[in-house]
């Protein structure tokens, strides 16, 4: 008879940086975005554990081995006048799916959001990722279909920062 695996969640520590980078690369492979993934361990360490942390990570361990993660950070709702949590990435390694790790990670994030007085927990999902969409909807999440995500990055981001548009007409 096989014993039930031991599952635990924990906040990431500085010594987990290499594990987090490995999980990010595995996520990029799953999402077919490997060419866009530049998971740099030095940057991760600085951004997660430096003097001004930009994000936090929860790690799901199975039998003492990292098997998934959730990387998140605070945002703010001006309409609610309350902070929120934005889930940037949620990933469970393929060999450990079906153990409820994704549910446990999301439930832990919901708990953190409630504990911190947040008004919402939100994230984005790739439109082709129907397994994830179904999973989220079974948990009660709803798509924000009236919203369109926009992004400035790379050259466009730098161009706007270096050459802001000149206002037209009188101010």
Q: Confirm whether 136 is a catalytic residue.
A: yes
Residue 18 phi, psi (nearest 5): -65, -40
Pick from 123, 118, 92: which is nearest to 105 by CA?
92
Catalytic entry in 54, 76, 86, 136: 136
Which residue has tokens 């549910």? 103
Measured over all CA atoms, what is the biggest interatomic distance in the chain, rounded to whole angstroms? 79
How far CA 42 is from CA of 15, 34, 54, 83, 113, in Å, comes to 12, 19, 14, 28, 28
Q: Which residues are catalytic?
A: 136
């Amino acid at each position: 008879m096989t014993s039930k695996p031991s599952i635990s969640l924990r906040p990431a520590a500085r010594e987990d940086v290499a594990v987090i980078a490995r999980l990010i690369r595995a996520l990029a492979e799953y999402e077919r975005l490997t060419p866009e993934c530049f998971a740099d361990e030095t940057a991760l360490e600085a951004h997660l554990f430096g003097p001004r942390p930009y994000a936090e990570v929860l790690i799901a361990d199975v039998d003492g081995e990292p098997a998934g993660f959730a990387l998140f950070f605070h945002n703010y709702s001006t309409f609610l006048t309350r902070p929120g949590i934005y889930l940037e990435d949620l990933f469970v390694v393929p060999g450990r799916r079906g153990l409820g790790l994704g549910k446990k990670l999301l439930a832990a994030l919901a708990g953190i959001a409630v504990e911190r007085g947040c008004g919402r927990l939100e994230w984005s999902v790739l439109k082709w990722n129907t397994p994830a969409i179904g999973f989220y909807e079974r948990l009660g999440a709803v798509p924000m279909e009236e919203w369109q995500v926009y992004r400035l990055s790379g050259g466009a981001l730098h161009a706007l920062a270096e050459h802001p548009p000149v206002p037209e007409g009188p101010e």
